[in-house]
Structure 1
Amino acid sequence: MKIPQLIKYILVVLGSLIIGGASSAAIVIFLTGTPSFESPEDLPPEFSRLTEVWYILKRDHFDRKDMDSKILSDGAIRGMLLAMDDPYASFLTAEQFEIQSQDYKGFFEGIGAHVSMRDDRIVIVAPIPGSPAEAAGVLAGDIILGIDGESTQGLTLLEAVSRIRGERGTLVVLSILHEGEDMPQEISVERNVIKLDSVQMRMMTGGVGVFTVTEFNANTYEQLENAFTRFQTQGGRGMILDLRNNPGGLLNSVFQVADAFIDSKLIVYEVDSKGSRKNWNASRGGFALDVPLIVLTNRYSASASEVLAGALMDHNRAIIVGDKTFGKGSVNTLEKISDGSGIYFTIAKWYTPDGKLIEGEGLVPDVDLTQMDTLESGQDALDVALDIMKNDILGK
């Protein structure tokens, strides 16, 4: 008997998800064909136990008349994914799958915060600047313990995201544990339309331009190029690229940004479950190939921002200043099941040009603030970077 195979959507995810929005923060979708597979001949013999359990329950369970095969099969899929020991593995209902597979347009309705999974907890990687989440007091590093009075324990990342989603003007109540605190607090956030302006530039004294990139979306490269033009017209001589609290973004976007600084060199490579390697190389002719560059990172610089920082570091194109990064460097796929639901899981992992694994490891900067004995009270990565740029690079 032939059974339609999963309709396959390959999503290259270089970042966390945006909670409360209309789409994921870092998705590129490719729709392939609809091949088929043989069943049950192709299945391992152990899977016959699922059928056996169904018939036993249907025959003997006290509530057998009320058994819902859809609910039970959903539960079996969730259990299978949990057993994979993949922190990103999730099951999506048909409604959740439809939301997650929408294109990323550069705006959405939601609360405006990026989340990821760490130690089986839902963690805020960064609220979007100017978002309802930021205004309500949500901070990078916050742990979401509850959503509208229900615990997040046992939820997958996508399940938590779908519960926080909602229409503009509606409220969601989050139970939040701030870093360093013992007691959670309830934070009410009103969902709204979030406009994603991902690049801000400000000129400092001495011809130093600070470019803050909050994420990598469809507009980032264009905004960075426009900001660089303003930087040049204002006599800019050195760039500081601030990737602190940058949770990641679109695959194509981070490659475009890398093209600006790296000429025809390896940006990153991925290794899949079969051990096959795929290289991603920069194009020729970037607009900022020769400008002195420093990159700022912290422990909430994740995924796409780690890809960029790793490439710039390994090619000695920039000095990296700050803290060790988050350590999110996996390639994930969202596959559609025949009933419209879907499964989400890891298919490959990213490595920097010199072979450093990003996933679970993170990147240690060239100038690690945690190892600096001379850091004065109140100084941060930007202060250190400005000193290096003005005195050690431009001052030569």
Structure 2
Amino acid sequence: MFKGRTVLAFVLLSMFASSILTLTLVNPSILAAVGGRDQAGSVKSGLSSKDLNKIAMTYSLIENNFLTQVDKDKIVNGAINGMLATLDDPYTVYMDQREAEQFNENITSSFQGIGAEVTSEDGKVVIVAPIKGSPAEKAGLHANDVILSVNGEKLEGLTLNQAIMKIRGPKGTQAKLEVLRAGTTEPIEVIVVRDDIDVETVYAEMLQGQIGKIEIRQFASNTAERFAEELQSLESQGMKGLIIDVRNDPGGLLQEVVEIVEPFIAKGKGIVQIENRQGKKEMTPSNGTGKPYPVSVLINKGSASASEILAGALRDSAGSKLIGETTFGKGTVQVTFAKEMGDGSNIKLTVYKWLTPNGTWIHKTGIEPDMKVEQPAYFKVAPLTKKETLKPDTSSEDIKNLQIMLQGLGLQVDRTDGYFSAQTAKAVKAFQQANDLPVTGEVDKDTAAKVEKAIVEAIRDPKNDLQLKAALEYMLSVTGK
């Protein structure tokens, strides 16, 4: 599965240790602002003795007067989480000893889980992107889905790490997720069977007209090496143009993306800018030579962080066209402080902004494509809840999603507004007959599962990928093929 290479897996669901390699890319004058000790090695807290006494008194009051006996570690960890929560930054998190150990294990090995990058927005656990081919993608989870509960346990009030620990689990076990999707009024239940996550990060192929395509699924510790191998292979086959696909790529290591884009950008031109809290900026210049063929980049709302750095660098400094949808919008860089904590715990803290070579900060806005192309409606449809059999002459959100799926499968429906019409029943019967199901015209759990499986296969079929088609047509036009 891992093709014999050392890889960097997602942490838990997919948290990346992007900070340590990031530090090697910026000038030490910027790094001087990062740290928690003075030159003598003493902690620089900025707190007065009055502040420290107030904190100590609060703990003392709890320890000596609270109704029940307290857990010291729980209170201290809670205090740290409380401080970080006031920063209102979903990417700044505290990891206790157990979470930090898990973090460290998973940045150098494979993992088992559902395979999706998550973040926290307004206290809610939000999917950034499912990994292509992962259980999360196969189950129909999408970027921006909100996970409300796991196996009946609500995630509200938990830290992001605590929520991830609930979602993560051994291969073969089920994660019953209650999910809220934009455009739906009621939560849906999505059952995901956890599995080993394939952390191979680079997939390449030659398309018609000698147009190469390289898909990057995440920026892990060997991604630049794998990209270079596949690029060389395509070039040796006489490639005339290249499509780089970073759709649903939630990001990863900054060093990797710099190494990937550098050969495409002429020497001296910028790759990425880093800005510290004082507003000081440092550009990472390219030492590359550029390429003699055109390059375009496929993006969507699941393209985040390092994917956005790649897209911004290639557009600003290499003139590449961006095709697809507006990206996720993560324009910050985190640094880990395990050594400073000193007890096995860790803090991942946002310390920098990153900007495109032209100086654009894309945080919370994303990068707009040069050529906007939407996928068919069934690419974004919600899974059916399967709470009850869907019958004619009824209306629901489930029926609306069913109609969109049937339409996507080439079956004739007269409406997609959620009313189960006679024509909808006719389309259901046609599907049931073609798939060896009882021909009832009603949608029970078995029919619903078969419809969902068929629509997932349709989504994964390249001939239905309108964004890829648009990118290929553009590349063929500019290469004269």
TM-score (norm 1): 0.83
Deviation larger for 97-106 or 26-35: 26-35
- Which of residues 54, 60, 63 in structure 2 aligns to 1:55? 60
Residue of structure 2 equivalent to 1:269: 273
8 A Cα contact 2:297 2:321, kept in partner: yes
Q: Which of 304, 307, 313 in structure 2 is aligned with 1:311?
A: 313
How far has the Cα of 1:145 moved from its partner? 0.9
Contact 1:106 1:218 in 2 (8 A): no
- CA distance in structure 2 between the aligned counterparts of 1:71 and 1:27, rounded to whole angstroms: 28
Q: Deviations over 1:268-298 (max 9, x none)?
A: 0111123232322223356xx2221111111
Aligned pairs for 1:228-307 (under 5 A) are: 228-264=231-267, 265-285=269-289, 289-307=291-309
| Counterpart mapping for 1:53-132 below 5 A | 53-63=58-68, 66-102=69-105, 104-105=107-108, 107-132=110-135
2:157 equivalent in structure 1: 154
Structure 1 residues 135 and 388: alpha-carbon distance in aligned structure 2, compared to 1, 3 A threshold: closer
In the alignment, structure 1 segments of 5+ residues that lack a partner are 1-16, 371-376
Corresponding position of 1:3: none
Aligned position for 2:20? 29
Whole-Å Cα distance in 2 between the matches of residues 202 and 96 of structure 1? 38
- Distance across 1 between alignment mates of 2:476 and 2:85: 51
Question: More strand per residue: 1 or 2?
Answer: 1
Report how far residue 96 of structure 1 moved. Answer: 0.3
82-91 vs 324-333, which deviates more? 82-91
Change in CA separation of 1:109 and 1:28 when aligned onto 2, cut-off 3 Å: farther
Which deviates the most, 143-152 or 52-61?
A: 52-61
Match of residue 50, structure 2, among 20, 45, 55? 45
Counterpart for residue 446 of structure 2: none
After TM superposition, the structure 1 stretch with the greater mean CA deviation from structure 2, 109-118 or 169-178, is: 169-178
- Taking a change above 3 Å as real, the CA distance of residues 135 and 39 of structure 1, as seen in their structure-2 partners, is closer
Aligned to 1:383: 469
What is residue 343 of structure 1 aligned with on the other side?
347
Alignment partner of 2:274: what SS?
A: strand
**How has the CA–CA distance of structure 1 residues 25 and 36 changed in structure 2, closer, same or farther, with 3 Å as cutoff?**
same
Match of 1:394 in 2: 479
CA distance in 2, matches of 1:101, 1:27: 12
Q: Given that residues 265 and 318 in structure 2 are in contact (C-alpha distance below 8 angstroms), is that contact kept between their aligned partners in structure 1?
A: no
How far apart, CA to CA, are the structure 1 residues paired with 2:184 and 2:302? 18
Aligned residue among 350, 356, 363 for 1:352: 356
Kept in 1: contact 2:15–2:117 (CA 8 A):
no
TM alignment of 1:184-263, pairs within 5 A: 184-263=187-266
2:371 counterpart residue number: 367
CA-to-partner distance for each residue in 1:309-348, whole Å, 9 max, x for gaps?
A: 1011111431112221111121112223233222222111
Matches of 2:150 and 2:17, distance apart in 1: 23
Identity of aligned residues (%): 36
Question: In the aligned structure 2, how far is the partner of 1:81 from the partner of 1:40?
Answer: 14
Q: Does 1:331 align with 2:329?
A: no
Deviation at 1:207, TM superposition (A): 1.9
| Residue 5 of structure 1: aligned partner | none
Quote how far apart the aligned CAs of 1:138 are: 2.6
CA-CA distance at 1:350 after TM superposition: 0.4
Contact 2:113 2:169 in 1 (8 A): yes
Provide the aligned length of Structure 1 versus Structure 2. 368
Instruction: Identify if the C-alpha distance between structure 1 residues 270 and 359 changes in structure 2 by more than 3 Å, giving closer, same or farther.
Output: same
Q: Is the 8 A contact 2:97 2:344 kept in 1?
A: yes
Residue aligning to 2:390: none
- CA displacement at 1:99 relative to structure 2: 1.5
Counterpart Cα distance in 1 of 2:467 and 2:132: 19
- Going from structure 1 to structure 2, the CA distance change for 1:228 and 1:69 (only over 3 Å counts) comes to closer
Structure 1 position 357, deviation (Å): 0.4
Separation in structure 2 between the aligned mates of residue 36 and residue 163 of structure 1, nearest angstrom: 38
Deviation, structure 1 residue 267: 0.7
Q: Write out per-residue CA displacement over residues 138-165 of structure 1, whole angstroms, 9 at most, x where no aligned residue.
A: 3333211112322222333222223323
Q: Distance in 2 between matches of 1:123 and 1:348?
A: 22
Unaligned runs of 5+ in 2: 1-8, 24-34, 375-407, 409-463
Contact 2:10–2:111 (CA under 8 A) maintained in structure 1: no
Q: Report if aligned partners of 1:262, 1:317 keep a CA contact under 8 Å in 2.
A: no
Q: CA deviation at 1:29?
A: 3.5
Shift in Å at residue 54 of structure 1? 2.5
- Could you tell me whether the CA contact under 8 Å between 1:241 and 1:293 is conserved in 2? yes
Alpha-carbon displacement from aligned partner over 1:149-201 (angstroms, at most 9, x marks no partner): 22222333222223323333444332222443232233333333222122222
Which has the larger share of helix? 2
Counterpart-to-counterpart distance in 2, 1:379 and 1:187: 24
Q: 1:274 to 1:207 in 2, by over 3 A?
A: same
> Secondary structure of 2:111's match?
strand
Q: Which amino acid aligns with 1:136?
A: A
Please say which of residues 206-215 and 156-165 is displaced more in the overlay. Answer: 156-165
